[in-house]
Chain A
Amino acid sequence: MARFIIRRVALLALTMLITSAIVFALTQLVPGDVARLILGRDASPEALNTLREEFGLNDPAPQQYVNWLGGFLTGDWGRSFTGANQPVRPLVTERLGNSMRLALMTLLISVPLSVFLGVIAALYENTWIDSIISLFTLAVVGLPEFVTGLVLINGLALGVKALGLPATSGVPENTIGDWIHELILPSLTATFVLLGYVTRLTRAGVIDELKKPYVRTATLKGLPQRTVIFKHVLRNALLPTITVIAISFGWLIGGLVVIENVYNYPGLGALLVDAVKQKNLFLLQAIVMVTIFFFAVANLLADIVYALLNPRIRLE
């Protein structure tokens, strides 16, 4: 198992190295001169050159890459061109924290809910219960986030005023009530996007497993049905689901652009859009790197959990 984890971590490092090169290369291809972008059209050639020197933009590309990567690893993520020339790192880490909170809240709601719905749908395969669950989960996946978001705002927050839910979300303080209060609407919206996939996957997994002979063995031992389902079936049925949840986690960290906009929530996705609009090079690089990193880590964790649950992988 230790060897397995070491292999995976080594792979992760390799992945990050390759993606960093791609990210760097892509930002090099962005049209326009960075120095002119910062200083404006009327800047003097001397001023431009000074700035290029300052940022190391005159160095050859490989050198720039090494400098950038070295800086990134030691915590110097560069400075934002816009505003007060502030360092990129605190900006990104703050937004990352916000995004993590939202992602966590979303997973806490969506995973149990969709697994539960999936199991129910599988146990009542091809009955009206199954049909209703399939219909509901597909419908909410099909709707774009801004529609479900608006419906939620209108339905839950405005319609049911008693809940007093805010239509725009702030960053929650540390009490649990506060978390739920601030994050319930955006995380519900994100949940709706995930619900369809995870529910269907769980349903298919459980149906597949229920057909396997070991389920008959367990039943004929005289085990109660809930033990058969929760101890024997679910452990095997959820294996593919784990991978999908990990992939969703990456999306939740960096991809919630629309939801963050609808709720005016200060997450990483919104920051990414700003960075692109402003052609804010270093900020853009940092956000992409951070998103990819968490995406890769989530997948690493998924692989480890998968192996822990699956002795055929763990003890190959």
Chain B
Amino acid sequence: MTNPPVIEAQHLTIEYLLGKQWVTVLRDVSLQINALEIHGLVGESGSGKSTLALALMRYMAKNARIRSGDILLNGQSLLGKNSDDMRHIWGRDISLVPQDPLAALNPSYTVGDQIAEISVLHDNISSKQAWRKAVEMLEKVRIADPEAVAKKYPHQLSGGMQQRVTIAMALSTRPRLLVLDEPTTALDVTTEATILDLFRELIRDNQAAALYVSHNLGVIAQMCDRVTVLYGGEVMASADVGDIFANPIHPYTIGLLASIPKAIEGVETRLPTMEGISPSLTQRPTGCVFAPRCPVALELCHQQKPALETIADGRMVKCHRWREIVSGELTVDNQTQEAIIEGLPPVENQYVLKTEHLNKQYGTQSFLDRVTMRKARFVQAVDDVAVQVRARATLGLVGESGSGKTSLARCIVGLETADSGEIELIDVPISRQLAQRPQTVKRDLQMVFQNPNDTLNPYQTIGRALERTIRLLNTEALNREQVQARIAELLTMVRLPADYANRYPSELSGGEKQRVAIARAFAANPALVVADEPTSALDVSVQAVVLNLLKDLRAKEGASYIFISHDLRAVSYLADWLIVMYLGQIVEEGTTSHVYSIPSHPYTEALVSSIPIPDPSVKQGAIRLQGEIPSATNLPTGCRFHTRCPRKIGAICEQQEPPWRDAGDGHHIRCHIPIDELIQLQSQSAATPEGTR
């Protein structure tokens, strides 16, 4: 890159005041982003990546201070600026695209007002002109009917639209620097793909520089020109995106890349994982921050901090042993456990769970609604769904938000009562209502939730939480020693030290809490564990640990899973049978490898095409779903997917319900296109990846 630098951080050290003590959040961080460059910032939670992103904008928490170093915008230091000066820079020269667009927009003003506000402030134009400009901006971010959308409030828009609004806002003054803080983390993979396309284009058009913060390595690989890897508040490595992904040098980068589940992997393989957790703010190691988790750390690494060395043009790494790694003398291997998980394979023709014609509708009409003649709105969340889970197998449930996958799971475990249909647990019909299920059924059906922070009572020790479940669900009465022994056994099972029983949830990391939640689900030897996005809230390296654990437990305890996730890669790593849902209906099912390859339902095809691939040399699939998932209160006629389907064949899709086509081996696709034609169409576009736009 020969473009001039737009923003530079030079040896930046930032501290937080915690209690009465200043602790270092970022240590000696240097970073440079040139015009037209998208610079990726990767790191786990607690690595300081958000602090750095905001610090580059000179926006810091009240209890933070810059200890040393400098921040230069277009060669000018920002440190000497007072808050009045910064107000002229914020929104005009630097803009932020935030993580959670709904929370980042004021709920009480229309989105048009909120975009126009910036132009009134910085461009000195009348509010009428600013409104017109806001509408233009909405058009630029590809919002259909921008005039109408401008008059809407944030809550009336879908997540993808909200994010487009914040992008319109950020770009309306043509800023020199754009800071993107996990801007697609809250979105579905299909929406994410369209937003990423938009970013690429708009950043280029605006000649801007961008900092892209993300924990999703796939997104970083697809979006960025350069990447900086942050760990424990320090830069571990910085290089061109190709170098980082193709020949990582730093052991942390190597470990991070290895822990991404590959597209389709055998059921019995184990992901390489980095042991331990990232250092907390107050307990940073004196030597290399990564040494405690590094598989190749030497005595030197624990005692002395390595320097950030420039090893080639534009390539920096902070490791004592980089020379050995580059020369090939040293290989970094994170495979600390057996790569293959020994255990019993799934059992054919023996089912833990079967459902038939399961239906769930939401929406009610109260007395007052009837008096005032308000129309009831019903949402068919689960529509005539049949699923089967084999013993010791894993059923993966995939679909965008609003597809009904969580509702289905909740109906199965009884958190919601299905309106109609049959549920069979180990060949015995069970009630749809939780209250009418015997204790043994409740014991056999357990659930692990997405956010481990919300599922553990903050005022109860881990031991107490497990004890309650053990006592509640075990049929025989246990004495105190037996319960304590069982708690210790469960904690060991999820690879946590037994003395964690005395800790409170706040003393555990996110991954550890999720392991406790899993231990609790296994407290009474369940037959089926329903895991609803159990790794979505976790960092990549922690996700790998949890995924491995789930695999281990399946092999050792003989449990079966229903695994729900929007992360198609995580699902394929764990599941041997996949169900793809769209608007409450199953559109495809089959073995994982069948579903992920040709032929597949056009919806599945689009989902797979949207996955950002963590390899910059492989371009993401080109199929994009236009528009949003339609409202379930007003279902499309015919095939529910016809409004967005890239392979729509004509009026038949709008008028008739598609058939449930058999593609062999239990692989079924709900589509009007015959299987042979699907194979033909999809092989063609696989050969020419750009073809189907």
On A, residues with C-beta under 8 Å from B are 3, 6-7, 10-11, 212-214, 216-225, 232, 235-236, 309-312, 315
Contact B98 A309 (CB under 8 A): no
Could you say which of A11, A218, A220, A232 contacts B57, with CB atoms under 8 Å apart?
A220
A214/B106 contact (C-beta < 8 A), A219-B59, A220-B96 known: yes
Please indicate the chain A residues that have their CB under 8 angstroms from the CB of B121 in the complex: 221-223
- A219–B94 Cα distance when bound, in Å, is 12
* Residues in A whose Cβ lies below 8 Å from that of B166: 217
Q: Is the CB of B117 within 8 A of A213?
A: no
For A10, A217, A311, which residue has the most chain B Cβ atoms within 10 angstroms? A217
**Which residue of the partner chain, among B59, B106, B156, contacts A218 with CB atoms under 8 Å?**
B106
State whether A222 touches B89 (Cβ < 8 A): yes
B100 near A: Cβ within 8 Å? yes
B107 touches A236 (CB 8 A): yes
- Interface flag for B91 (CB, 8 Å): yes
Cβ–Cβ contact A221 & B91, under 8 A: yes
Given A216-B59, A219-B59, A236-B106, A3:B117 Cβ within 8 A: no
User: 8 A-B Cβ contacts within 8 A?
Assistant: A213-B100, A214-B104, A221-B90, A222-B118, A223-B117, A223-B121, A232-B106, A312-B153
- Chain B residues with Cβ below 8 Å from A213 are 98-100, 103-104
11 additional contacts (CB under 8 A) given A310-B107, A312-B155: A3-B374, A10-B371, A212-B103, A216-B98, A222-B89, A222-B91, A223-B117, A232-B106, A232-B109, A312-B107, A312-B153
Residue of A nearest to B90 (CB): A222
Whose C-beta in chain B lies nearest to the C-beta of A316?
B155
Q: How far is the CA of A127 from the CA of B312 in the complex (A)?
A: 52
Chain A residues with Cβ below 8 Å from B86 are 222
Given A6-B372, A7-B368, A213-B98, decide whether A222 and B104 contact each other with a Cβ distance below 8 A.
no
Q: Which residues of B lie under 8 Å from residue A7 when comparing CB positions?
A: 368, 372
B117 lies within 8 A of A221 (CB): yes
Instruction: Specify which chain A residues have a CB less than 8 angstroms from the CB of B106 in the assembled complex.
Output: 214, 217-218, 232, 235-236
Residues of chain B in range 54-89 having any CB-CB distance to chain A below 8 Å = 57, 59, 83, 86-89
- Is B92's beta carbon under 8 Å from chain A? yes
List of B residues within 8 angstroms of A220 by Cβ: 57, 59, 90-91, 94-96
Taking A216-B59, A216-B98, A222-B121 as contacts, is the C-beta distance between A10 and B372 under 8 angstroms? yes
The residue on A at minimum CB distance from B108 is A235
Given contacts A222-B91, A232-B106, contact A217 B96 (CB under 8 A): yes
Chain A residues closer than 8 Å to B107, beta-carbon distance: 214, 236, 310-312
Interface residues of B in 98-147 (CB under 8 A from A): 98-100, 103-109, 117-118, 121-122
A232: nearest chain-B partner, CB-CB: B106
Nearest 4 CB-CB pairings of A with B: A222-B91, A222-B90, A221-B91, A311-B153
Q: Is the CB of A309 within 8 A of B108?
A: yes
Whether A315 contacts B108 by the Cβ 8 Å rule is: no
Which residues of chain B (356-374) have a CB below 8 Å from chain A? Answer: 368, 371-372, 374
Q: Please tell me if the beta carbons of B108 and A311 are within 8 angstroms of each other in the complex.
A: yes
Is A222 a contact of B88 with CB atoms below 8 Å? yes
* CB pair B98 A310 closer than 8 Å: no
- Please indicate the chain B residues that have their CB under 8 angstroms from the CB of A218 in the complex: 106
Residues of B within 8 A of A222 (CB): 86-92, 118, 121-122
In the bound complex, CA of A22 to CA of B371 (Å): 24
**Does A3 lie within 8 Å of B87, measured CB to CB?**
no
Tell me how far the C-beta of B423 lies from the nearest C-beta in chain A, rounded to whole angstroms: 34
CB distance from A134 to the nearest CB of B (A): 20
Contacts of B92 in A (CB 8 A): 222
Alpha-carbon gap, A221 to B105, bound state (A): 12
Within the complex, the shortest CB–CB distance from B117 to chain A, in Å, comes to 6
Q: Which residue of the partner chain, among B59, B98, B155, contacts A311 with CB atoms under 8 Å?
A: B155
User: In the complex, what residues of A have CB within 8 A of residue B104's CB?
Assistant: 213-214, 216-217
- Contact of A315 with B153 in the complex, beta carbons under 8 Å: yes
Q: Which residues of A contact B374 (CB under 8 A)?
A: 3
Q: How far is the CA of A235 from the CA of B106 in the complex (A)?
A: 10
Query: Of B89, B98, B108, which one neighbours A217 at CB under 8 angstroms?
Result: B98
- Residues of chain B within 8 A (CB-CB) of A310 are 107-108
Q: Which of A11, A221, A309, A315 counts the most chain B CB atoms within 10 A?
A: A221
B371: chain A residues at CB < 8 Å are 10
CB distance from A2 to the nearest CB of B (A): 11
Q: How far is the CA of A59 from the CA of B313 in the complex (A)?
A: 103
**B372 — which chain A residues lie within 8 A by C-beta?**
3, 6-7, 10
B105 near A214 (CB under 8 angstroms)?
Answer: yes
Query: Closest B-chain residue to A314, C-beta based?
Result: B153
Contacts of B122 in A (CB 8 A): 222
Contact A219 B90 (CB under 8 A): yes
- Closest A residue to B172 using CB positions: A221
- In the bound assembly, the distance between CA atoms of A315 and B106 in angstroms comes to 15
Write the chain B residue with the least CB distance to A7.
B372
Which chain A positions have C-beta within 8 A of B98?
Answer: 213, 216-217
Min distance, Cβ B149 to any Cβ of chain A, angstroms? 14
CA gap between A219 and B98 in the complex, in Å = 13
B108 and A236: CB pair below 8 A? Answer: yes
A221 to B153, CA, bound (A): 19
A48, chain B: closest CB distance, angstroms: 45
Residues in B neighbouring A214, C-beta threshold 8 A: 103-107
- Nearest-Cβ distance from residue A314 to partner chain B, whole angstroms: 9
> With the chains together, A212 CA to B166 CA distance in Å?
15
Q: Which B residues lie within 8 Å of A3 (CB)?
A: 372, 374
A311 to B105, CA, bound (A): 13
Closest-CB distance, A125 to chain B (whole angstroms): 10
Q: Give the most central of A213, A222, A225, A235: most B CB within 10 Å.
A: A222
B118 touches A221 (CB 8 A): yes
Counting chain A CB atoms within 10 Å of each CB, the highest count among B100, B108, B122 belongs to: B108
In the bound complex, what is the Cα–Cα distance between A223 and B113 (angstroms)?
Answer: 14
CB distance from A315 to the nearest CB of B (A): 7
Residues of chain A lying within 8 A (CB to CB) of residue B87: 222-224
Residues in A with CB closer than 8 Å to B117 are 221, 223
Return B409 CB to nearest CB of chain A, in Å: 28
Measured between alpha carbons, how far is A235 from B114 in the docked complex, in Å?
A: 14
In the complex, what residues of B have CB within 8 A of residue A224's CB?
A: 87
Nearest-neighbor residue (CB-CB) of B368 within chain A: A7
Q: Please give, as numbers and ranges, the residues of chain A lying within 8 Å of B109 by CB-CB distance.
A: 232
